Amino acid sequence: MLPNLKSNEELLKEIEVLSGQRIMDCYQCGECTAGCPVAFAMEPVPNQAIRLLQLGYVNEVLNSLGIWLCASCNVCGERCPRGVDYGKIADALRAINLRNNTYQLELEKIDKEFINQAPQQAFIAAFRKLTT
Ligand code: SF4
Ligand code: SF4
């Protein structure tokens, strides 16, 4: 994986511009994670990922598997009382990795139980994730 040479501040700005979301608006109620159909396999789960971003652990989230498991179903955004759509943030995180020529979706590393339980949209989204 190539190192991301941008500062945390630059990366956070890029995430907010690409996603159209305000990361600091999240107040950690957990509604997004409670409704996410793939939270059982995500690491970190949506509200944890946002908290890590708020605290400046940007590369930890960029390098996490969870952003690649997001099925882009928009449930989290619909449930958020603060108008934060984590699905769009995950889209932006993946886009930054793809632009940096790094990605983590390696089929052989995905848990078979997850493949059996994941919604069909997760696989459709996966094909989208591997295109720039
Ligand atoms: S639902 Fe919204 S405010 Fe609540 S934890 Fe998720 S992103 Fe934050
Ligand atoms: S868009 Fe992604 S993070 Fe949000 S609920 Fe759907 S799968 Fe979970």
Helix runs in 20-104, H state only: 31-35, 46-54, 58-62, 66-69, 75-79, 86-99
State which residues form the domain around 78: 8-19+26-129
Segment 29-87, tens digit of pLDDT: 999 999 999 999 999 999 999 999 999 999 999 999 899 899 999 999 999 999 999 99
CB of 74 closer than 6 angstroms to any ligand 1 atom = no
* Residue at 62 is within a domain: yes
Task: Give the single-character DSSP code of 132.
Answer: -
CATH code at position 110: 1.10.1060
**Residue 15: inside a domain, yes or no?**
yes
Of 100, 121, 128, the closest CA to residue 1 belongs to 100
102 CB-near residues (< 8 Å, 6+ apart): 1, 2, 4
Number of domains the chain is built from? 1
Confirm whether 73 is domain-assigned: yes
- pLDDT on residue 132: 47
Locate tokens 């339980």: which residue?
A: 117
The answer as to whether 2 is a domain residue is: no
- Note the pTM of the prediction, 2 decimals: 0.81
Distance 125 CA to ligand 2 centre (A): 11
Segment 63-77, tens digit of pLDDT = 998 998 999 999 999
Q: Which two tokens stand for residue 113?
A: 């139980």
Establish if 3 belongs to a structural domain: no
**Hey, whose CA ends up nearest to atom 6 of ligand 1?**
32
* Residue 49 placed within a domain: yes
